[in-house]
Amino acid sequence: MTETTAAAVAEQEPRAAAPEPAGKQKMSIILYSGTVDELTAASILATGGAAMDMEVNIFLTFWALLAMKKGAWQDPEQMKVSAEFAEYAPMMMEAVQQNKVKPWIELLREAKEIGDVNVYACGMTMDLFGLKLEDLEDIVTGVQGVTGFVGDARDSAITLFI
């Protein structure tokens, strides 16, 4: 089986015909969960948005922000699946390995290479956990407050909470 990359994920389904927008459409993702299944889903959605020439803005808060600490994505203790799907974790991990699916952070890096993807850390959550920007993976674009993100998200064609 071939290695799954962000580009391959983006090309799996044909693009739906959409009316030409006046400006670039936006996708806003509030990423709260730090579980592998939801981080992977957010990375794939960001890839799809980037492949469709959307501006994608991801707002990391709470557990998703902790998942972005340098090296955390490689820690086996951090590779948890959402509690409601825990019984499927072994099957999911086996499928991921068999299909050579890249880790969520690599998919997100590739999404940034494909298009306009910004990853922002929530300023309040950073303060709460005593984090600084240099504590996070280099994929994080910067720190943003809630009002800044909400202001940007207000004009989004798609807004997701994961």
Spans of all domains in the chain: 25-161
Tokens of 138: 């280099």
Geometric angle at alpha carbon 82, from 81 and 86, rounded to 5°: 65
pLDDT tens by residue, 107-143: 999 999 999 999 999 999 999 999 999 999 999 999 9
The per-residue pLDDT for range 46-99, each reduced to its tens digit, is 999 999 999 999 999 999 999 999 998 887 666 676 556 566 566 666 766 777
Could you report the per-residue pLDDT of 27-49, keeping only the tens digit for each?
Answer: 999 999 999 889 999 999 999 99
Return the percentage of the chain with pLDDT > 70, whole number.
75
Q: Which CATH superfamily is domain 25-161 in?
A: DsrEFH-like (3.40.1260.10)
Residue 111 near residue 139, CB atoms below 8 Å: no
Q: Calculate Rg over the CA atoms of the chain.
A: 16
At 105 the three-state DSSP class reads helix
